[in-house]
Amino acid sequence: MKHKNGLRIATVAVGGAACIFALSTGIDFAKGQKNNIRQIETPVAGMSVVLGDFIENSGQTEVDKLLEINGVKKENPKTDTPVSEGDDKETVIVIVPEETTTMPEETQSDNFEEIADTTPEEPTTPEEPTTPEEPTTTEQPTTPEETTEPETTTEPQKESPYSGIAVAICDSYVNVRSGPGTEYKILGKIYKNCAAEILEETDGWYKMTSGNLTGYIKAEYFATGDEAGRLAEELGRKVGKVTASALRLRKEPSLDAKIVTMIPNGEKVAVVYEDDEWVKVQADGTEGWVFKEYLDIEVNFDKAITLEEERAKKAAAEEAERIKQNAIKSAEEDELRQAIVNYALQFVGNKYVYGGNSLTEGTDCSGFVKLIYKEFGYGMQRRASLQYRDGVKINWEDAKPGDLIFYGDDSVDHVVMYIGDQKVVHASNPTTGIIVSTINYKRVFGAIRVIQ
């Protein structure tokens, strides 16, 4: 078909879509002149048909043969296709199947500069991603090792808090010596039910450490292993240290339960019972529940003492007795008050034992003040709530040394002795024992005066 501008048109159908090529006009094929072909519309499915060089070298007849060989039907325009007025050449309709491969000349011909800039890029574009490498990147993690690791790894068992502990099972005490034999020097004593950490065993002797003492003890007087664990469970005192800025003590193990009081950061409380989430504790004579997450729990035992510590303890007891006797002889109230306070201070550092009745072996808050006043001839009841009735009620801000201060919210739950300078002495809890605190370390319920 000849265009109105004198161009020869070749229409090629590819996969049902027409591709139109324009052949330069003004030069007859028969004259053997070179014909330039420019692609007007890109073939679908990434295919194109290039005929320029072939027509130039072989002529139109050879093109017809090529089409016939490839099974392409050429329709005779003279019989099958009407010829429009002004057409002086035939129109070639070429049908190319989709599976026809691209001819090498399409990317190599020098006569198709415009095609070479775009067409070669299109078929190679899908091949650019390195798809074979993608599966290998997913195979890099050692998945089989990850899945089998938990099966081969044994979770370590939780170590018992009593492992390596020995408990004295003697009648009274056992000497701690500098070497594994009775011929060695005595360094101190470890009393019945006290605990020690075993370092090594030599010929029936344990090298141990307990408190400030390290030495050797006779193995036959100590329980170890399961028996020591059982005794340690009975004798050990579990202590919790508050890690929160302030920890709520509740009546029941529930976030909805009433708050009894607040326990400050760093305060130590006696552990009565614990489960997975809650711990029942005793703080200044008051029991309640706290959230376990905010409590560091450890187990404490009675320890061995050195000879020096034993001598100091004996001297303190003798001095307390001397002060007591001197105070009894004094008739002046102020001297008596100070004498009572000095006597009470001699027991700072001793143990807290709930229900105990010994200033040296252990007592609780109400027992402490009862025993102190008993030594000076004053009788008091045993419970703190009842002791609040054993004197004249006063404003706690007017307290004198020897007066009793009571604590609690709705009722009395703790009692202390005022020693002056806004300080009190009291049996606090199993962890801290008998200590000195500030008078307003918790909410004051009231105060009484025993000495009139």
Over residues 42-55, the mean pLDDT reads 44
User: What is the per-residue pLDDT for 162?
Assistant: 66
Q: What integer pLDDT is reported at residue 359 of this predicted model?
A: 93
Q: How confident is the model at residue 98 (pLDDT cuts 50, 70, 90)?
A: very low
Q: Does the pLDDT of residue 362 top 60, yes or no?
A: yes
Mean pLDDT in residue range 14-27: 40
State which of 301-305, 314-318, 447-451 shows the largest mean pLDDT. Answer: 447-451
Report percent pLDDT > 90 for the chain.
35
Q: What is the mean pLDDT of residues 125-131?
A: 46
Distance CA 372, CA 232 (A): 32
Average pLDDT of the residues in 352-363: 91
53 against 352, higher pLDDT = 352
Confidence band for 331, pLDDT divided at 50, 70 and 90: low
Mean pLDDT of 437-446: 90
pLDDT per residue as tens digits for the range 188-225: 999 988 889 999 998 999 999 998 999 999 999 998 88
Identify the H or E element spanning 145.
helix 143-152
Residues 223 and 190: beta-carbon distance below 8 Å = no
Q: Is the pLDDT confidence value at 449 over 90? A: yes
Instruction: At 86, list the tokens.
Output: 């002004």
The mean predicted confidence, pLDDT, of the chain is 73
Place of tokens 């030495």: 215
Rg of the chain over all Cα atoms, to the nearest angstrom: 52
Residue type, 266: G
* Tens digits of residue pLDDT in 252-268: 999 999 999 899 998 88
Q: What gap in Å lies between CA 415 and CA 429, rounded to an integer? A: 12
Most confident of 58-67, 88-97, 314-323, 424-433: 424-433
Range in 40-49, 150-159, 337-346 the model is least confident about = 40-49
Identify the pLDDT of residue 71.
Answer: 54
Residue 7 has pLDDT above 70, yes or no: no
- Structure tokens, 158: 């939780």
Hey, which of 72-76, 324-328, 414-418 has the most confident mean pLDDT? 414-418
Residue 220 confidence (pLDDT): 92
Q: Over 80: is that where the pLDDT of 86 sits? A: no
CA gap 104, 122 in Å, rounded: 15
Query: With 90 as the cut, is the pLDDT of residue 448 above it?
Result: yes
Q: Tell me which of 294 and 1 has the higher pLDDT.
A: 294
pLDDT at residue 53 tops 60? no
Residue closest to 347 by CA, chosen among 268, 410, 417, 252: 417
SS3 category, 349: coil
Mean pLDDT of 19-32: 39
> What's the rounded Cα separation, in Å, for the pair 187 and 199?
17
Nearest alpha-carbon partner for 437 in 412, 411, 414: 414
Is residue 404 helix, strand or coil? strand
- The tens digit of pLDDT for each residue in 131-180 reads 444 444 444 444 444 334 445 455 555 556 567 788 899 889 999 999 99
Residues 6+ apart with CB under 8 A from 106: 48, 50, 112, 115, 119, 120
Whole-model pTM: value is: 0.41
- Which of the four pLDDT bands, split at 50, 70 and 90, describes residue 323? confident
Q: What is the mean pLDDT of residues 180-187?
A: 94
Share of the chain above pLDDT 70, in %: 63
pLDDT of 284 = 76
Q: Residue 450: its pLDDT value, please?
A: 93
Assess whether pLDDT exceeds 50 at residue 47: no
